[in-house]
Amino acid sequence: MSHNRIDENRAFIAVGFGVITVSDTRTLEEDRSGDVLASRIAGAGHELRVRDIVRDEIGAIQTLVREWSRRDDIDAIILTGGTGFTGRDVTPDAIEPLYDKAMDGFSAIFHRISFEKIGTSTIQSRASAGLINQTFVFSIPGSTGACKDAWDGIFQPQFDYRHMPCNFVEIMPRLDEHLKRGGGAKSL
C-alpha cells in the first residue's frame, strides 16, 4: 500500500532550501552529500537558495542556522554531517536548543527508512528536526546514502504540495500565525 498519493488537481509550489554540510575536512568541490541534496532539490523543481560548509563547531553552526532561518527566501534548511557520537559530531547539540518546536517524528521515520538499508547501524545517527523561526530545519548524517534516503523517503513527498493526505508546504502559511501577522508563509 502506497502512502504517497499525488493530487494532480493541485499546483506544484517550489520551496526555497538551504543546504549546510557540517565538516572540518570537506570543501564544496569534495562535498558529495551536499551534491546529492542539491541535485535532488533541483530535480524536484525546488530552489537551492544557498549552500555552504561549516566546521564542526557549535557556535559556527548556530550562527549560520540562525542567519538562514531568518531569511524570507529560505523555507527549509538541511544540515548533513555531524550526527554521530564522536567528539566532533555536534550538529544536533548545536541546533536542538534553537528549536521553537521539535519534530520528533522525523527521527523515527528517518530511522525506519535507514533500518531497511543499513540495519541496526542506523542507531548510530542522531538525526533530528524542528522549527526555528518558522523555518524547517533538519539534521541528517553526512553519507550520500543517508541524504538519498532522507530526500527520497521524507523530503521529496513532504515538500510536494500535491502530496496527500498532508504535507509541509500546506502548513507553511500557518507556521507564523501566532505572530498575528495575518498568515502567509515566507515565500508562498
Q: What is the pLDDT of residues 111-128, one digit of tens each?
A: 999 999 999 999 999 999
What backbone phi and psi angles, to 5 degrees, belong to 83? -105, 5
pLDDT at 174: 81
Higher-pLDDT residue of 185, 181: 185
pLDDT at 187: 45
Assess whether pLDDT exceeds 60 at residue 171: yes
At 156, the amino acid letter reads Q
Grade residue 2 by pLDDT with cuts at 50, 70 and 90. Answer: low
Assess whether pLDDT exceeds 50 at residue 188: no
- The rounded Cα 57 to chain-centroid distance in angstroms is 19
User: Could you report the per-residue pLDDT of 52-94, keeping only the tens digit for each?
Assistant: 999 999 999 999 999 999 999 999 999 999 999 998 999 999 9
pLDDT at 183: 41
Assess whether pLDDT exceeds 60 at residue 179: no
SS3 call for 164: strand
pLDDT at 182: 41
pLDDT at 87: 86
Rounded to whole angstroms, the Cα distance separating 82 from 86 reads 9
Protein fold of 10-179? Molybdenum Cofactor Biosythetic Enzyme; Chain A (3.40.980)
What whole-number percentage of the chain has pLDDT above 70?
Answer: 92
What backbone phi and psi angles, to 5 degrees, belong to 151? -65, -55
- The rounded Cα 12 to chain-centroid distance in angstroms is 19
Q: For residue 165, is the peptide bond before it cis, meaning its omega torsion is within 30 degrees of 0?
A: yes
Assess whether pLDDT exceeds 90 at residue 152: yes
